[in-house]
């Protein structure tokens, strides 16, 4: 089975779903495992996807590619999609897209991944600075479609991600700082796997 | 224990009120012994400390500017430029021009449009301007006013939301990760290659070293010494040693005009003081006090049209004053303004692209026929970068500074070993166009590019300083300054309300009237009925700048307001 969403259930999904909304501690419970190669991309064109690339490097992932704006073809050669959610007016402007078309594009990308049974990790690692009206539209449209959520806890002050996680039964891990994502990536991407994608 | 709903309500109100007061307290300050307003509370506090130590407004403004180079390195700094307007208690008004110059090797055929990189830079003027002002009009030593900046660069400061937003929202982050020449920037501005969290302590020991060199050696360290060599190297020779040695700030007469009896002291060309003055001169022909205030469509329409006509005159008549004889007296004459005002129809909009320049030469004491014509209007991309410092001291000396790197993070060229970025002012020049032979803004060696800085001081009928203000915001600068002056003088608003009120921008470079959110639906509808095409922006949007201002009330109270659009702060000695 291509989809590599292995529930290790150390503490069970229920534990993940009851993570506190205002978590102060990094949640590193092993919940899920994913396969490489990984495609890291942005929905909203903020700098978050680039930060995820840095985190993937630090985590020592052996096979990942970063594309700020990925194509459907990029998805097809990946075994996991990491979509970093966060809108940047400047980023959208530079990409020549508006928020509506970006959300539509994100939905199309997610649908294609699901069609190929490629699991989706949705990340919000920029915290509250990326929780404006545009970012929230992206989060509400796409986070519920993901298979796993990694969220900086300052982005969840209003409980939005807890709500999405609970209502959609999506495992979620909160981190205090973006750097705390490194051990999580190391845990959910077993080191043994080698892929054929190069960082670009 | 039981609490009544009423008691809980009171406690909640006190709690919320407490938070609100805390927030306002960082942005609004009141005193009687001097006041500083800038884009960062830390910088304003440093300026206030200088005032408390016996320094005058110039000492405080220079200290504040150097602190901003540390805590707001994306908006101004040693590698940038600026303009300072002074109103001294002895009655003198001065304008210190430390705009950047094109390097000496450029020609009119040089492409001025690179946005980043060494070939986007101009010869920086900030160090020359600030040190000149301090020497001529200050009372303290350079080492004294540099001390707060050196301390913050060494010991660190917490980055705020604006800082994080600008790191996260900009291609600078990508460039820092990918460009090996930005290794030092990456080490200073990022943490483990990541954008730091709000509140993270940031130090800049390299910049501390540069500031210490300035303290010990004066501006020669920058223009002739080891920093100069580093700039030449960082730009690959785009800026040369000869360029840096040649640079000097210029002490000019400011432009002055009258508005409702108040005196407006502003910047002469090659910036936008003339736009502010002409727009206010035009508005002198209308009674704005009969309108309800900032949300009245009638007032907005008149102001938008006045700003539009004034901006139309900027393109053909504003150039580097060291290269051209400009028709300033004509542009500033009341007769000229009256005739321009007659073009305004209270019931119908002038299509922005159809607003044409007037002929100020007809209004000059000795008429001239050498009218520059045929200059195209270019749409400036218009980064809302730049920064504003406003200071009044206990003796009534006042300083208004607007400084910039042009875009946020300027050219993205870091000077290795010295921790500062160079400006990207070159793109403000126009490329040579044989169809526009009279273009005053065509690139030439050692010329200043035309920009829109407009630091301003308003004096009351007795000649006493009333208001010190200015703003970042690129093309929105003149409109934001004019609207704030009208809000205080015509509508009688307290300074914080005058600044917080929504802003709009009207200029020939825009096809539409650009408006911040916050105007009422009926106002928008009425403006549309007059023929305005409206483009709406967010609430308290950085796009419309970030006024930092000080008002000196007749009762002696000084009110300082730091920008509500950029997390500014004000401070005064106790």
Question: Distance between CA A120 and CA A135 in Å, rounded?
Answer: 18
CB contact under 8 A, A94 and B171: yes
Residue B115: domain span: 35-252+385-473+535-571
Q: Is residue B193 part of a domain?
A: yes
Strand partners, B558: B31, B552
Structure tokens at B3: 């609490």
Question: Distance between CA A88 and CA A132 in Å, rounded?
Answer: 10
Q: What is the ipTM metric for this complex?
A: 0.75
Residues of A with a Cβ under 8 Å from any B Cβ are 46-48, 50-51, 54-55, 57-58, 88-91, 94, 126-130, 154, 177-179
Give me the pLDDT at residue A83, please: 98
Report the CATH number at residue B121. 3.60.20.40
In this complex, is the C-beta atom of B167 within 8 Å of any C-beta atom belonging to chain A? yes
Question: Distance between CA B495 and CA B493 in Å, rounded?
Answer: 6
Q: Which residue has the higher pLDDT, A2 or B164?
A: B164
CA nearest to A185, candidates A30, A25, A6, A20: A30
Instruction: Kindly report, residue by residue over B93-131, the tens digit of the pLDDT.
Output: 999 999 999 999 999 999 998 999 999 999 999 999 999
Give me the pLDDT at residue B368, please: 53
CA nearest to A174, candidates A143, A144, A152, A148: A152
pLDDT band at A7 (very low <50, low <70, confident <90, very high): very low
CA of residue B143 relative to chain centroid, distance: 26
Give me the pLDDT at residue A36, please: 96
Q: Show residues of chain A in contact with B170, CB under 8 Å.
A: 47, 90
Per-residue pLDDT at A190 exceeds 90:
no
CB contact under 8 A, A129 and B198: yes
Q: Is residue B320 part of a domain?
A: no
- Nearest Cα of chain B lies from the Cα of A5 at a distance, in angstroms, of 28
Indicate which residues of B carry an active-site annotation. Answer: 386
**Mean pLDDT across A122-134:** 92
Mean pLDDT, chain A, as a whole number?
84
The residue whose two tokens read 């993940």 is: A16
Helices (H), B321-392: 328-332, 334-341
CA of residue B281 relative to chain centroid, distance: 21
The residue whose two tokens read 């899920």 is: A32
Question: Distance between CA B40 and CA B548 in Å, rounded?
Answer: 10
Q: How many pairs of residues across A and B have Cβ atoms under 8 Å apart?
A: 50
Question: Which is it for strands A120-124 and A80-85: parallel, antiparallel or unpaired?
Answer: parallel
Instruction: Kindly report, residue by residue over B484-528, the tens digit of the pLDDT.
Output: 999 999 999 999 999 999 999 999 999 899 999 999 999 999 999
3 state DSSP class of A150: strand
Strand partners, A83: A41, A122
Select from 3.30.420, 1.10.3470, 3.40.50, 2.40.128 the CATH code of A12-17+24-188.
3.40.50
Please list, residue by residue across B524-538, b when 16 or more beta carbons sit within 10 angstroms of its beta carbon and e when fewer do.
Answer: bebbeebebeeeebe
End-to-end CA distance of chain B: 43
Question: Distance between CA B126 and CA B148 in Å, rounded?
Answer: 17
Mutate to test the interface with A, among B168, B171, B190 (most CBs of A within 10 A): B168
- Considering CB atoms only, which of A50, A55, A129 is closest to B164? A129
Q: What's this model's pTM, rounded to 2 decimal places?
A: 0.87
Per-residue pLDDT of chain B (574 residues; tens, 9 = 90+): 333 434 433 333 333 233 322 223 378 999 999 999 999 999 999 999 999 999 999 999 999 999 999 999 999 999 999 999 999 999 999 999 999 999 999 999 999 989 999 999 999 999 999 999 999 999 999 999 999 999 999 999 999 988 998 898 668 999 999 999 899 999 999 999 999 999 999 999 999 999 999 999 999 999 999 999 999 999 999 999 999 999 999 999 999 999 999 999 999 999 999 999 999 999 999 999 999 999 999 999 999 999 999 999 999 999 999 999 999 999 999 999 999 999 999 999 998 778 899 999 999 986 554 444 434 444 444 556 789 999 999 999 999 999 999 999 999 999 999 999 999 999 999 999 998 888 999 999 999 999 999 999 999 999 999 999 999 999 999 999 999 999 999 999 999 999 999 999 999 999 899 999 999 999 999 999 999 999 999 899 889 999 999 999 999 999 999 999 888 999 999 8
CB contact under 8 A, A50 and B170: no
3 state DSSP class of B442: strand
Sheet holding B34-38, edge to edge: B250-252, B93-98, B81-87, B398-404, B387-393, B34-38, B569-571
Q: What is the phi/psi pair of residue B20, to 5°?
A: -60, -45
End-to-end CA distance of chain A: 27
CB contact under 8 A, A154 and B193: no
Structure tokens at B50: 């200088």
- Nearest Cα of chain A lies from the Cα of B408 at a distance, in angstroms, of 12
Question: Distance between CA A75 and CA A65 in Å, rounded?
Answer: 10
Give me the pLDDT at residue A12, please: 36
Helices (H), B218-272: 220-223, 226-234, 241-246
Give the start-to-end residue ranges of the domains of chain A: 12-17+24-188
**Mean pLDDT across A170-181:** 95
- Give the number of domains in chain B: 1
Structure tokens at B110: 């040089």
C-alpha angle B493-B495-B496 in degrees, rounded to nearest 5:
105
> Is residue B81 within a helix (H) or strand (E), and if so which, with residue range?
strand B81-87
Question: Distance between CA A63 and CA A36 in Å, rounded?
Answer: 6
Question: Distance between CA B198 and CA B190 in Å, rounded?
Answer: 12
In this complex, is the C-beta atom of B189 within 8 Å of any C-beta atom belonging to chain A? no
Helices (H), B382-533: 477-489, 495-500, 521-529
E strands, chain A, in order? 38-43, 64-67, 80-85, 120-124, 148-152, 172-175
CB contact under 8 A, B168 and A55: no
CB contact under 8 A, B173 and A129: no
> Is residue B505 within a helix (H) or strand (E), and if so which, with residue range?
strand B504-505
Give me the pLDDT at residue B170, please: 66
- Considering CB atoms only, which of B169, B194, B198 is closest to A90? B169
B179: exposed, middle or buried (Cβ count in 10 Å: 0-12, 13-18, 19+) = middle
Structure tokens at B443: 């690139």
Give me the pLDDT at residue B366, please: 64
DSSP code for B19: H
Q: Show residues of chain B in contact with A88, CB under 8 Å.
A: 168-169
HEC-encoded secondary structure of A40-88:
EEEECECCHHHHHHHHHHHHCCCCEEEECCCCHHHHHCCCEEEEEECEC
Interhelix angle for B334-341 vs B297-317, to 10°?
A: 120
Question: Distance between CA A150 and CA A185 in Å, rounded?
Answer: 10
Give me the pLDDT at residue A192, please: 58
In this complex, is the C-beta atom of B161 within 8 Å of any C-beta atom belonging to chain A? yes
Calculate Rg over the CA atoms of chain A.
Answer: 15
């Amino acid at each position: 089975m291509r989809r590599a969403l292995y529930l290790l259930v150390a503490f069970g999904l229920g534990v993940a779903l009851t993570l506190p909304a205002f978590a102060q501690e990094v949640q590193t419970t092993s919940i899920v495992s994913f396969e490489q190669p990984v495609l890291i991309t942005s929905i909203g064109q903020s700098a978050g996807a680039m930060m995820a690339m840095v985190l993937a490097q630090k985590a020592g992932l052996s096979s990942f590619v970063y594309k700020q704006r990925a194509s459907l073809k990029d998805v097809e050669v990946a075994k996991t999609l990491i979509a970093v959610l966060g809108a940047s007016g400047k980023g959208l402007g530079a990409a020549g897209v508006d928020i509506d078309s970006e959300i539509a594009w994100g939905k199309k990308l997610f649908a294609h991944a699901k069609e190929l049974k490629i699991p989706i990790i949705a990340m919000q690692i920029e915290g509250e600075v990326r929780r404006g009206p545009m970012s929230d539209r992206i989060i509400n449209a796409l986070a519920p479609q993901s298979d796993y959520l990694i969220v900086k806890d300052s982005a969840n002050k209003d409980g939005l991600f807890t709500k999405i996680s609970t209502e959609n039964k999506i495992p979620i891990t909160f981190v205090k700082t973006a750097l705390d994502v490194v051990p999580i990536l190391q845990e959910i991407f077993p080191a043994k796997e080698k892929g054929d994608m190069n960082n670009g | 224990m039981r609490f009544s709903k009423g008691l809980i309500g009171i406690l909640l109100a006190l709690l919320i009120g407490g938070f609100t007061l805390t927030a306002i307290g960082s942005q609004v300050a009141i005193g009687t012994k001097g006041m500083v307003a800038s884009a960062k509370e830390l910088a304003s506090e440093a300026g206030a400390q200088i005032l408390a130590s016996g320094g005058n407004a110039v000492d405080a403004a220079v200290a504040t500017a150097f602190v901003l180079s540390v805590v707001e390195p994306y908006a101004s700094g040693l590698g940038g430029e600026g303009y300072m307007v002074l109103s001294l208690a002895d009655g003198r008004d001065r304008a210190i021009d430390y705009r950047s110059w094109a390097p000496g090797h450029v020609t009119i055929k040089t492409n001025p449009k690179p946005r980043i990189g060494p070939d986007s830079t101009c010869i920086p003027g900030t160090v020359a301007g600030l040190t000149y002002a301090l020497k001529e009009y200050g009372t303290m030593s350079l080492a004294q006013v540099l001390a707060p900046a050196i301390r913050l660069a060494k010991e660190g400061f917490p980055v705020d939301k604006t800082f994080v937003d600008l790191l996260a929202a900009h291609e600078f982050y990508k460039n820092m990760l990918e460009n090996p020449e930005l290794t030092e920037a990456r080490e200073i501005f990022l943490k483990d290659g990541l954008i730091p969290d709000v509140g993270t302590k940031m130090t800049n020991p390299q910049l501390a070293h540069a500031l210490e060199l300035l303290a010990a050696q004066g501006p020669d360290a920058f223009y002739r010494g080891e920093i100069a060599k580093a700039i030449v190297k960082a730009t690959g020779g785009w800026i040369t040693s000869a360029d840096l040695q040649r640079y000097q700030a210029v002490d000019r007469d400011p432009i002055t005009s009258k508005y409702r009896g108040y005196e407006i002291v502003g910047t002469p060309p090659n910036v936008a003081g003339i736009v502010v003055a002409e727009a206010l001169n035009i508005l002198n022909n209308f009674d704005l006090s009969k309108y309800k205030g900032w949300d009245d469509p009638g007032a907005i329409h008149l102001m938008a049209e006045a700003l539009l006509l004034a901006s139309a005159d900027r393109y053909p008549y504003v150039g580097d004053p060291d290269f051209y004889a400009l028709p300033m007296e004509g542009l500033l004459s009341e007769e000229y303004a009256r005739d321009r005002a007659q073009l305004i129809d209270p019931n119908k909009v002038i299509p922005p692209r159809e607003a044409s320049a007037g002929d100020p030469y007809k209004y000059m004491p000795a008429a001239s026929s050498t009218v520059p014509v045929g200059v195209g209007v270019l749409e400036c991309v218009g980064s809302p970068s730049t920064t504003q410092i406003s200071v009044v001291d206990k003796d009534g000396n006042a300083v208004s500074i607007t400084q910039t790197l042009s875009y946020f993070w300027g050219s993205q060229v870091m000077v290795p070993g010295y921790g500062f970025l160079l400006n990207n002012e070159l793109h403000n020049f126009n490329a040579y166009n044989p169809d526009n032979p009279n273009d005053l803004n065509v690139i030439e060696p050692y010329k200043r590019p035309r920009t829109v800085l407009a630091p301003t001081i308003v004096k009351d009928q007795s000649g006493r300083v009333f208001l010190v203000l200015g703003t970042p915001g690129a093309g929105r600068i003149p409109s934001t300054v004019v609207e704030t002056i009208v809000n205080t003088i015509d509508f009688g608003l307290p300074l914080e309300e005058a600044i917080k009120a929504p802003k709009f921008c009207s200029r020939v470079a825009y096809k539409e009237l650009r408006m911040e959110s916050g105007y009422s639906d009926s106002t928008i509808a009425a403006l549309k009925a007059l023929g305005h095409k409206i483009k709406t922006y967010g609430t308290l949007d950085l796009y419309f700048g970030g006024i930092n201002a000080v008002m000196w009330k007749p009762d002696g109270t000084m009110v300082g307001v730091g920008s509500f659009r950029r997390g500014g702060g004000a401070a005064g000695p106790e």
